[in-house]
Amino acid sequence: MKANRGIDESPRRGDGALLTLRPELCAGCTHCLRVCPTEAIRIRRGKAEIMAHRCILCGECLRACPREAWAVPSESLEQIQRKGPAVAVLDPAVFGQFGDRASPGSILRACVEIGFSAGRDMGEGVSLYRDAVVHYLASEKAAPPAISSDCPAVVQLVQVKFPALLENLVPVAPPFEVMARRLKREREGESPRNLCYVVPCPAKAWAATQPLTPEGAYHQAVPVADLYNPLQACLHRMPGASGPGEKASGMGMEWAFPGGQSKALGVEVALTVDGIHRVAEILELAENGLLDEVPFIEAWSCPGGCLGGCLNVRNPFWARFQMSSGIRKNSPRAQEGGEFRGEKEEWEGYLRHQPFSPRTGMRLDENLQTAMEKLRRIDETVKRFPGIDCGSCGSPNCLALAEDVVQGYARETDCIYALRKMRPDGAPARRGASGKRLPKSKRKRR
């Protein structure tokens, strides 16, 4: 088996990408264009356009768009139910969205309550993926640094920008594909059921329906955000939602955030990186041969791993805390002693007795009424700017320029778009002492 087999042969998206643009919401502001790691977005005729062959579905455009013009189309719960019995396979990130009071078992039961025939976690798929990767890393086929193939956006980033590293990708189907194949084998001979993968990001939504291996395909992918409210409402109604129930594996849950994969694989020294732009920096170092001593790279497209996926609901750091808390409750570890303990007289000397105070000058005004008036003027002023945050005015964004104008640090004409509106030729109209525009006969010719 070649190291890059399956990666080169993955199906193409064809003439369209999973992401769609709602033109009525797009203002052509270039926010998405500037954050795209593969330069897949163009602004044409005042609207954003996507180049499908460059898009890796990392979701950066969804995060950056202030108008929420980008969207991931998906079927509603009612549409899924009309197709017949459907099994919901929950990505590990799903369990971080509801806090540690809702047990994994109660979340799986809630899936049945809202209309699925069954709810399954990814523990089995993660376990089998781990075994396959451990076997591969121990073989002579692994080319250092071996790069995890779990994140579809990272795999596509390698395909688009770093093809020299294709042989470094671990040639193992990701856990969600493994889980799909296993479920299909379990139900062999039964009436066919829809497999729905509840996903935290666009990359997994696409990869679930266009897998590396045909047997690992799902019928549809459903964003976590689409099911969050029904599941949350069901959990509130369920008695004993935090009680005992089916447990998701701790290893499977830890898989959702950076470091969990390396820990499960038993890799003592691994390079863990999250965030697509930081991943690109690391891959560039690897391509230049500067990471040959690194045995394994655990790379995640989203900041915070799958918990940071743009189709999630909760803050990824809060979600990680809740998941870690739940894992610890299920498998508490003994506290290890041996830490340094100083005398009371010594550590008391390091206590701060004065509270921290805000830095002066950060408020709009010390007088509350004046500050509220300035806030109103800022709101009015920012509406006169284009909202593209180009920085040409010398302020970091349009809102900051509006604040600077109201505070007297800048002028509205510092914005080149506001300046251009003052006269058809782009030059500011000259005004007399009274503030009225001078007649042509009294204007100086340049």
Choice among 72-86, 298-312, 334-348 with the minimum mean pLDDT = 334-348
Rounded CA-CA distance 78/355 in Å is: 54
The CATH number linked to 382 is 1.10.15.40
Secondary structure (DSSP) of 124-178 = HHHHHHHHHHHHHHHSTT--SSEE----HHHHHHHHHH-GGGGGGB--S--HHHH
The pLDDT of residue 431 is: 46
**With bands split at pLDDT 50, 70 and 90, how would you rate the model's confidence at 34?**
very high
- Asked if pLDDT for residue 234 goes beyond 50, the answer is yes
The CATH number linked to 48 is 3.30.70.20
The pLDDT of residue 10 is: 36
Check if the beta carbon of residue 328 is closer than 8 Å to that of residue 335.
no
132 and 241 housed in the same domain: yes
- Asked if pLDDT for residue 375 goes beyond 80, the answer is yes
202 and 278 housed in the same domain: yes
Domain membership of residue 273 (yes or no) is yes
Over the stretch 395-444, which tens digit does the pLDDT of each residue have? 999 999 999 999 999 999 999 888 887 755 545 544 444 444 555 555 55
In the three-class reduction of DSSP (H, G, I as helix; E, B as strand; rest coil), residue 195 is classed as: strand
Check if the beta carbon of residue 305 is closer than 8 Å to that of residue 274.
yes
> Which tokens in the block code for residue 421?
């509106």
- Mean pLDDT within 58-73: 94
**With bands split at pLDDT 50, 70 and 90, how would you rate the model's confidence at 5?**
very low
The pLDDT of residue 68 is: 93
Of 40, 71, 102, the one marking the end of a domain is 71
- The alpha carbon dihedral of 365, 366, 367, 369 has a sign of positive
193 and 315 housed in the same domain: yes
Q: How far is CA 438 from the centre of its chain?
A: 55
Domain membership of residue 181 (yes or no) is yes
Domain membership of residue 441 (yes or no) is no
Domain membership of residue 341 (yes or no) is no
Of 275, 307, 330, the one marking the end of a domain is 330
| Residue 78: Cβ-neighbour burial (10 angstroms; 0-12, 13-18, 19+) | exposed
Secondary structure (DSSP) of 27-64 = ---SHHHHH-TT--EEEETTEEEE-TTT-----HHHHH
The pLDDT of residue 9 is: 37
The pLDDT of residue 352 is: 75
The pLDDT of residue 353 is: 79
- Give me the number of domains the chain comprises: 3
Domain membership of residue 2 (yes or no) is no
Enclosing domain of residue 405: 368-431
- Mean pLDDT within 165-174: 94
Rounded CA-CA distance 77/209 in Å is: 17
- CB-side exposure of 361: number of CA atoms within 13 Å? 2
Helices (H) and strands (E) in the chain, counts: 17, 11
204 and 320 housed in the same domain: yes
307 and 395 housed in the same domain: no
Helix segments in 315-354, DSSP class H: 316-330, 344-347
**b/e sequence 259-296, b meaning 16+ C-beta within 10 Å:** ebbbebbebeebbbbbbbeebbebbeebbeeebeebbb
> Which tokens in the block code for residue 239?
């008695």
Rounded CA-CA distance 13/51 in Å is: 11
- Asked if pLDDT for residue 63 goes beyond 90, the answer is yes
- Mean pLDDT within 1-21: 48
> Which tokens in the block code for residue 241?
């939602």
192 and 87 housed in the same domain: yes
Check if the beta carbon of residue 273 is closer than 8 Å to that of residue 297.
yes
Listed in sequence order, the residues at least 6 apart from 389 whose beta carbon sits closer than 8 Å to its beta carbon are: 29, 31, 396, 397, 398
Domain membership of residue 141 (yes or no) is yes
Over the stretch 193-215, which tens digit does the pLDDT of each residue have? 789 999 999 999 999 988 877 78
- Mean pLDDT within 159-184: 93
Which residue is it, tokens 């899936």? 111
Highest-pLDDT range among 248-257, 303-312, 322-331:
303-312
- Reference 52, options 8, 23, 13; nearest CA is 13
How many residues are listed for the chain in this entry?
446
Domain membership of residue 359 (yes or no) is no
- Reference 202, options 309, 305, 75; nearest CA is 309
291 and 393 housed in the same domain: no
Over the stretch 68-90, which tens digit does the pLDDT of each residue have? 999 998 888 889 988 888 999 99
300 and 159 housed in the same domain: yes
32 and 146 housed in the same domain: no
Domain membership of residue 246 (yes or no) is yes
The pLDDT of residue 347 is: 67
Of 71, 104, 137, the one marking the end of a domain is 71
383 and 425 housed in the same domain: yes
230 and 269 housed in the same domain: yes
108 and 224 housed in the same domain: yes
Check if the beta carbon of residue 157 is closer than 8 Å to that of residue 58.
yes
The pLDDT of residue 282 is: 97
> Which tokens in the block code for residue 303?
């900041």
